[in-house]
A and B are shown apart, each in its own frame.
Chain A
Amino acid sequence: MTRNRIAPIPVVLAMALGVTTTGCLFQGGPDGAYFERQSGRDAVESQLAGEALAQRKYSMRRVRRDLGKFRLTLEQLQRHGKQGGIDRFVRFAKPYVADRVDPLIDQNDAISHPELRPFHAELLLSKAVLMYEIGDARAVRETIGRLEREFASMTSMLVLYPTGQAVTLEQGIALLRMQTGGA
């Protein structure tokens, strides 16, 4: 929010010039405004609804399931110690997350729309777990940080942990920390 402060010099000058009308004083655009601007136009909430909301939910759900399948595959490759397969899959998974997952969790409506919040949180959890499997500790830390920051007031929200358990977000974050060793 831009704060338009009234500069003292113009005021003095104006007084000196004998300009007495306050109307003239506050005309002349934002720079000359007295009130702190709180743009209602900018604050109009543009929530998704109807088909668009349903489609977003569908996308987020499916991507969450896809991440779960990627995690499982990566875990199995690691159990076999197939380093070639792991490297190959990581080369696929990282850009996939960047191209498909991040756009979904970076959209504002995902956090602001109450119906999308659980999906948003679940996607972050899933991303963190996948990144842990990939060995990207920094991405895990960042994602946990986002969860704690963006959902600070919503930790009692019920979410699906990537392993399929229904937990509160607080429990989910705790599980995530436990699973990733705090990353």
Chain B
Amino acid sequence: MMQTPIDPRRGLVRLEAGPIARVARLALTLVVTGAAAAGAATQATQATWNDYLDHAYVFAAADEDDLRGLLDRTTLAVGRNLAEYHAETFPALAARKAPMTEIQLRRKAIAELLLHRTGERASGLADSVATIDQLSDRLDRHENRYWFHTIHAYEALASGDAAAFVDQILSVWLRVITPLEVPFETYKTLALTENGNAGFVRTLPHLYESIARLVLVHSQTAALDGDIDSLGAIARVLTDERVGADPESIPSDATSKAFLDHVVARLDGAESDGGSLSYTLALIEAERAHQRARKHLADEGFSPESEAAVRDTVAAYQRAMRNANTLQGQVAIYSRALRQVGEVFATGERTGAEVNLDIPFSIERALDLYRSLHAAKDGDWARQGYVDQGRDAYLAAMKGLWSELQEASFNVAAYYMSRKNAAGETSDESIVHAINTYSRYLHAFEDFAGDPTGESLPDSAYFGAYMAARGIGDGVLFFAGGDASVDQLDEAIAQYQTALGYFPFDRALWSTLAVALQRSGRESDFLAVAKPIADRVVRSRHLDRWIENDGDWGLPMANFRRAFENDRSLVYFGFADETRIGELEQEFARLQTEREAIALSIADTRTERDELHAARREAHRLAAEMSGENEIPAPPSVTGGIPGVGLTPDASDARTRNSEQIAQLGLDLERLASSHERLDARIEAISQSLPTFKATLGHDALLGELSAQRDHPVHGLLRRYAEEYAPTTAPASAETTSSGGSQKAWQTLQSWMEGGAE
């Protein structure tokens, strides 16, 4: 804000920094300079209101607050306020027999205009108009003409008469500015513009500035809700070496040049409304209101001030909408208004407060606008307003609208999913709202996806499809307190499949899919459901190229692809997560220990068997020696004790037991070897799949990045990936869900989870 302490010693005004302050400083400097010049004539050392009013073209168009401050400071300098000056001067002059002079009438009209602008005289404007009209026969003088049309322009603003306002501004340009420009250029060439004798000609830079402010600022402050498009020509020519072009008169940073340039750039830019000034000014004003509302919402949540600011923004967008005559203009408004819808619902989610604001800019209507834009894609897109900006601008607007529509949808849905009832649960009604919001997005997406030119949708729309499908699945799982029916569960599973089809790198979603399958009694279908989705990743040419070219997140994606190649790793996606990695590793270690123990047992058993073999051989040898078997070949049937040959029954029994033990040990060894072999296979499989699965951990930040950044390069990959294959939305086949097959598959699954062999 402007700080303007008066320095009584110098009679000058010091102002703090700030553009408005600089304008005011400049204004007063010029006024005081003019007053000093006038002082010679008046023999006065102190400026009077007459001097200030004669230079009012410098400051009369200042903002209301600045003008009030300026007049307050002038009051201190002059010794009485403007109202007092008016009351003390003009009635006395009017009471005289002689009519007021031209200059007195002009001063009176200007004083009344200023009193109107500062709100100090209710009848100020009407009085000013009546006074300046008395000079209608003296419009041969440029100064009179300037104030005549300017005061009538203020009158038009006050009455909301856009046509009259346009007429007055065009008249000022035609009848004041145009005739002054040639002599001004001459004076400027001869460096005479600062010469006091240059008269009203030298005011030209201030007149440019005042006209710019009237058209760009005051028309909006007065909420002029009509067609002022003809003044687009004036705005454009003001940018051409006029406003801000005379730094000796008005320092560049004290002019409205920056704002003027911004307005004209927008007028001719991609988010115009076929070059409509009325629309452009209204939209810029709405954007300002939007910024204020955004700050209030961020700082205060749903405070009364925030809600008022949102309502102001809505009203401003609606005013812009009334001025929009092309799809181009309407799309630019909806793109912004939808963002506010998203901000309001995000605030509701963040603060846990209910959204009670009515924002009449609906996602449905935005979708209608998108459909209309899309329908013009191969035809009359130029007639939708983009004739000067070209097809690229049209396509960018179409994609931009979609992006806003997508974000607003997800903010609304997230808000509803966050709503809790008295019991602290998400109500079914809220869930239905959320599901409907996601569904609307997904259906619209499916209507427009698949355009091989990539012109219809932004790349991020494909990630949006993943989010919507996942959101629907989550909603269904939460429905009825988490007690969803089989049909609902099937729907959730199908949505999760769709979601993973668009974005397979969400590890948590694989687990959620497995949970949904479990709740549906179809755990055993996991591999059958997951594998087609995983296979798309494995076979994707676009992904392969992305990884080879070291694209963003290429390494984690390569890890995912490697994990998807392996059925066991894929199962881990469904039934393991980071919290279970420790258990899996413990299990892996246990299996290794078990294998070592078995190996040891095998060794011990072999030793024992070998020893028994050796003992039995020794027993046979002794028996042979004692029976002379070594000298006479033993009959083939000698198995039992034969009296007279020394082979006792005890020895024979011992050898029999020995043989049985050896046989048993052989069986044990066979069993142990088999176990060892199975363990080997399991350990080998786990040693391959577990690290592969572990390599996919810790990359969840990608989700956050893609949610937050519309232009993330991975969005482009996801679009191409999705277009490479149609998303897998079909539920698992009947074959995989049949009871016999599912039982076997489930056992396999269990075995894998516990480290069983494939």
Contacts and interface: CB of A to CB of B under 8 A. Distances in A.
A154 B371 CA distance: 54
Given A54-B189, A84-B227, A73 B236 contact: yes
Interface string A62-104: 1001100110111011011010111011011001100110000
A95 B229 contact: no
B368 to A, nearest CB: 22
A80 B229 contact: yes
Contacts of B232: 73, 76
Contact of B230 (A59, A79, A85): A85
Contacts of B186: 55
B179 interface: yes
B478 interface: no
B179 A76 contact: no
Given A89-B230, A99-B174, A76 B274 contact: yes
A100 B170 contact: no
Contact of B240 (A52, A66, A72, A91): A66
Given A95-B174, A96-B174, A89 B233 contact: yes
B230 A73 contact: yes
B166 interface: yes
B324 to A, nearest CB: 11
B178 A96 contact: yes
A73 B229 contact: yes
Interface in B222-251: 227, 229-230, 232-233, 236-237, 240-241
Nearest to A55: B189
Contact of A65 (B174, B190, B227, B240): B240
Contact of B167 (A51, A73, A86, A88): A88
Interface string B364-389: 00000000000000000000000100
Contacts of B219: none
A58 interface: yes
B178 A77 contact: no
B163 A88 contact: yes
B182 interface: yes
Contacts of B361: none
User: Counting chain A CB atoms within 10 Å of each CB, which of B167, B170, B230, B275 scores highest?
Assistant: B230
B189 A69 contact: no
Query: Which of A62, A70, A92: most chain B CB closer than 10 A?
Result: A92
B240 A69 contact: yes
Interface string B250-288: 000000000000000000000000111000000000000
B227 A100 contact: no
Given A59-B182, A99-B174, A80 B276 contact: yes
Contacts of B661: none
A74 B227 CA distance: 14
A95 B233 CA distance: 15
Given A73-B236, A76-B275, A85-B227, A51 B189 contact: yes
Given A76-B276, A77-B230, A88 B166 contact: yes
A72 B275 contact: yes
Q: Is the interface of B mostly helix, strand, loop or mixed?
A: helix
Nearest to B264: A69
Contact of A82 (B182, B185, B229, B240): B229
A73 B275 contact: yes
A85 B166 contact: yes
Interface in B176-212: 178-179, 181-182, 185-186, 189-190
A55 B178 contact: no
Nearest to B383: A79
A76 B166 CA distance: 16
B274 A89 contact: no
B85 interface: no
Given A85-B230, A99-B174, A79 B387 contact: yes
A59 B232 CA distance: 21
B540 interface: no
A69 B230 contact: no
B193 to A, nearest CB: 13
Contacts of A65: 237, 240
B424 to A, nearest CB: 55
Interface in B59-96: none
Contacts of B276: 76, 80
A55 B178 CA distance: 16
Given A51-B189, A55-B185, A76-B275, A70 B233 contact: yes
Contacts of A70: 233, 237
B173 interface: yes
B511 interface: no
Contacts of A62: 240-241
A137 to B, nearest CB: 22
A92 B230 contact: yes
Contacts of A88: 163, 166-167, 170, 230
B566 interface: no
7 contacts: A51-B190, A58-B185, A65-B237, A74-B233, A76-B274, A79-B275, A89-B170
Q: Sorted from nearest, which 5 A-B pairs have the closest CB atoms? A: A76-B275, A73-B233, A69-B236, A92-B170, A89-B230
Interface of A: 51-52, 54-55, 58-59, 62, 65-66, 69-70, 72-74, 76-77, 79-80, 82, 84-86, 88-89, 91-92, 95-96, 99-100
Given A73-B232, A86-B230, A92-B174, 16 more contacts: A51-B189, A54-B189, A55-B186, A58-B185, A65-B237, A69-B240, A72-B233, A76-B274, A76-B275, A80-B229, A88-B167, A92-B170, A92-B230, A95-B174, A99-B179, A100-B181
